[in-house]
Amino acid sequence: MPALFIGHGSPMNTLESNQYTRTWEALGKNLPRPRAILCISAHWFIGSTVVTAMPDPRTIHDFYGFPQALFDYEYPASGAPDLAKRIAELIKPDWIGLDQDQWGLDHGTWSILAHMFPEADIPVVQLSINAMKPFDYHVRIGRALAPLRDEGVLILGSGNVVHNLRLIQWRRPEYGEDWAVDFDQAVIDQIAADPGKLGQVVSHPGFSRAVPTPDHFLPLAYIAGVATEGEGTAKAFLQSYTMGSLSMTCFQVGDGPRVNQT
C-alpha cells in the first residue's frame, strides 16, 4: 500500500472542484483500496501522542468564518479501535494514548477524504502530533508505523510544506513567492534523496519563513519515516502554490498509480 502526504490548504477545498480536489479524487480511484486509513493531520497538534480509538468518530469543524455549508458537512466514516490498538503496539516502547471520546476527524483529514473516498465507507483513525517532541521523534514514529502498509492501511499525512498565513496574498490564488518555491524544492530534493534526514531542512535559509509553526510541516516527517523503512524515497506528484505563501505539494511513497498534475 502506498503512503501519501497531501498539501491540504483551505477547508473550502471540501466543497470545491479545482486542480487539488481533482487530484485527490483521482487518487481515490486509482490507488489500491485500503482496508483502513491512518491520518496524521496538522490540526491535531497537542502535548501528547494519541490515536482515535472510538468506533464512530465525530466530524470536527475546527475553523471559523466559512460558509454554513462547510459547517454542515459530515464525514461519517467509522473508526477502527483494533487498528488503534495495533498502532499503540507498533509504537512501543513509546507511550500512546487511546482516545475513546475526545477527538474525531478534523478538516485536515476529511477535506481530503471527501474527494478521495466520498462514500466514507473506509474506517479512519487519526494520530495526534506531539508538540512536545523533537523533529526526529516524528520521523521515528513514522518508521514504526511502516508495517501498516503491508496490512492494507493507507498512511496519510495532511499538512503543507510551506504554510505562512501571515504572508497570504488572497488575490493571487495560483502564485508562489520565490522563497516559498525555493524551500519547497529543497524539501522535494531531500525527500527524494534521503527522507530519513528530512530534519536537515531546518538549516535552509527559508525555513523560518516557510515553517513559522511546525504543525503543518510535521505530518511530512511521519511519511518520511515510512519512506525510510520502505523504498528509501518519496516522489512529489503535485508541485503547486497558492496565495504566495502556501505550498500544495504532495508526495507518494511506493509504487502504484500516480496522478501527475502541476
Domain residue spans of the chain? 3-253
Interatomic CA distance for residues 173 and 246, integer angstroms = 10
Q: Which three cell numbers stand for residue 168?
A: 497570504
List pLDDT tens digits, range 8-37. 999 999 999 999 999 999 999 999 999 999
For residues 200-220, average pLDDT: 98
**Residue the block writes with cell 470545491:** 16
How high is the mean pLDDT of the chain? 95
Return the CA Rg of the chain.
17
**Over 90: is that where the pLDDT of 108 sits?**
yes
The pTM of this model reads 0.95
Phi, psi angles (nearest 5°) of residue 234:
-140, 140
Interatomic CA distance for residues 177 and 247, integer angstroms = 10
For residues 229-248, average pLDDT: 95
Residue 237 DSSP SS3 = strand
> CB under 8 Å to 74, separation ≥6 — which residues?
59
For residues 94-122, average pLDDT: 97
Neighbours of 97 (CB within 10 A): 15
For residues 113-126, average pLDDT: 98
Q: What is the pLDDT of residue 180?
A: 98
Beta carbons of 87 and 135 less than 8 angstroms apart: no
For residues 112-125, average pLDDT: 98
For Cα atoms 56, 60, 62, give the angle at the middle one, nearest 5 degrees.
165
Interatomic CA distance for residues 112 and 180, integer angstroms = 23
Q: What is the pLDDT of residue 56?
A: 98
Give the class (CATH, top level) of 3-253: alpha beta
Residue 256 pLDDT level (bands cut at 50, 70, 90) = low
Residue 255 pLDDT level (bands cut at 50, 70, 90) = confident
**Over 50: is that where the pLDDT of 135 sits?**
yes
Q: What is the pLDDT of residue 259?
A: 52
Beta carbons of 220 and 161 less than 8 angstroms apart: yes
Residue 98 DSSP SS3 = strand
For residues 161-181, average pLDDT: 96
